[in-house]
Amino acid sequence: MQKEIILIKNGELALKGLNRATFEDVLIKNIRKRIKPLGDFEYRKEQSTVSVIPVSEAVDMDEVSERVGRVFGIARYSRALQVQKDMDEIKKNAPAYLENQLMFAKTFKVEAKRSDKKFPLTSPEISAEVGGAILSAFPHLKVDVRNPEIVVTVEIREKFAFIRGNQLKGAGGLPTGTSGKATVLISGGIDSPVAAFMMAKRGLVLNAVHFASPPYTSPQSEDKVHRLLKKVASYSGNITLFTVGFTEIQEAIRDNCPEDMFTLIMRRFMMRIASSIAEKEDSKALITGESLGQVASQTLSAIACTDAAASMPVFRPLIGNDKDEIITVSRKIDTFDISIEPFEDCCTVFTPKHPKTKPTLQMLTEAEQNLDTDALLQRALENTKVTVVGF
């Protein structure tokens, strides 16, 4: 029976040894969640490949392919035609199924993989016959075994044969949920959504904390964060967002602390609040979008002082990246255009003219003595909204 399916290669999971099956099961669960709205599917694991087989009629395979391509844990994938293990069927269907790729190409080659050793033809014989059928249908093509534009692959397995063209690059990384949970401090800028994406790619479930300071920040600023997280969630799955009312804390810092320390004290409060939320949510680390030396609050001294306020590890996946490298990833995951919209977040409120770049922890703790820290933190946590941002 002919049927178009998705063949998935899971790449890095092959290194997981005895735990590999567990990782593959999580990967399949994540794929199932992502494409469930599109129909019913059967899933098979065999020979380092996961097969996604439509059961429903009239499934939109373009949309299935698009969603599968964003699931972490997939190194490569391809759409393939499942046919009977019969050479006449294979030769008839290969040119027809791959017509849209072959008609615009100049060169190709055929690779055959014969896991069913009882099949009467050898792999070279299968390649030769299918190659001949393709050349008959597309006489403009030339065979190039070293650097072809299109690699046509025919796989002979236990029950069926599969025909596919070039493989597509997957999202890579590890399946979401295999590395635990972490909480990202998300602003409306370019960096933090990229940091969230990069850590989700390592198998983390994400929560997010955003700090809003009305009336200094607008509802459009919060909406911007929701849209940024939705882009990340298209790869990671659902993200629980905690939006913290931060106005009172920022005004208290402005009124009671030295101006050159405003930003650093603000970030220490953010770390305390995010740590508190993360602990309640069984999150084991915080994530920020800081890059060493990018701004005054991201010098080595400033980062050390900020970390001292956190109660758990802080991951900074962008720490060694320059802005161009970060922007490249933001364009890839489609967050850049949202990030540059002119709706400012709370990090731009009360920004000092001459921020301190070489602070010490003693300086900051002395400056914070003018604040009722515990009461400010408690009221901010009470003034927190919780929403789920879906993919």
Lowest mean pLDDT among 47-51, 293-297, 346-350, 380-384: 346-350
- Tell me the per-residue pLDDT of 180-205, one tens digit each, with 9 for 90 and over: 999 999 998 999 999 999 999 999 99
pLDDT at 267: 95
Q: Where are the beta strands (DSSP E) in the chain?
A: 3-9, 41-46, 49-54, 74-83, 107-114, 142-143, 150-156, 161-164, 168-172, 181-185, 205-212, 239-245, 286-287, 314-315, 384-389
- 146, β-bridge pairs: none
- pLDDT band, very low/low/confident/very high, at 57 (cuts 50, 70, 90): confident
Query: Does residue 15 register a pLDDT over 70?
Result: no
Question: Per-residue pLDDT averaged across 87-106, rounded?
Answer: 96
pLDDT at 14: 65
Report CA torsion sign: 167, 173, 178, 183. negative
CATH class of domain segment(s) 3-171: alpha beta
- pLDDT band, very low/low/confident/very high, at 351 (cuts 50, 70, 90): confident
pLDDT-above-70 percentage for the chain: 98
- pLDDT band, very low/low/confident/very high, at 346 (cuts 50, 70, 90): confident
pLDDT at 324: 96
pLDDT at 227: 97
Measured between alpha carbons, how far is 133 from 129 in angstroms, rounded to an integer?
6
Angle at 300 between CA 294 and CA 303, to 5 degrees: 85
- pLDDT band, very low/low/confident/very high, at 56 (cuts 50, 70, 90): confident
Show Cβ contacts of residue 187 under 8 Å, excluding neighbours closer than 6 positions.
210, 211, 225, 289, 345, 346, 347
pLDDT at 45: 86
- Domain assignments of the chain as residue spans, ordered by start: 3-171, 181-389
- Tell me the per-residue pLDDT of 222-236, one tens digit each, with 9 for 90 and over: 999 999 999 999 999
pLDDT at 1: 66
pTM for this predicted structure: 0.89
Question: Per-residue pLDDT averaged across 42-57, rounded?
Answer: 87
Angle at 146 between CA 140 and CA 151, to 5 degrees: 60
Lowest mean pLDDT among 310-314, 326-330, 346-350: 346-350
Question: Per-residue pLDDT averaged across 146-169, rounded?
Answer: 94
Question: Per-residue pLDDT averaged across 82-89, rounded?
Answer: 95
Q: What is the mean pLDDT of the chain?
A: 93
Contact 127, 111 (CB under 8 A): yes
pLDDT at 381: 96
- 52, β-bridge pairs: 6, 43
Tokens read off for 238: 């659902």
pLDDT at 17: 67
Query: Does residue 12 register a pLDDT over 90?
Result: no
Query: Does residue 143 register a pLDDT over 90?
Result: yes
CATH class of domain segment(s) 181-389: alpha beta
pLDDT at 296: 76
- 73, β-bridge pairs: none
Higher pLDDT, residue 83 or 345:
83
Query: Does residue 16 register a pLDDT over 90?
Result: no
Query: Does residue 8 register a pLDDT over 80?
Result: yes
Query: Does residue 379 register a pLDDT over 80?
Result: yes
pLDDT at 49: 84
Q: Do 3-171 and 181-389 come out as alike in CATH topology?
A: no
Among 64, 66, 47, residue whose Cα is nearest residue 55: 64
Question: Per-residue pLDDT averaged across 100-109, rounded?
Answer: 96
Query: Does residue 242 register a pLDDT over 80?
Result: yes
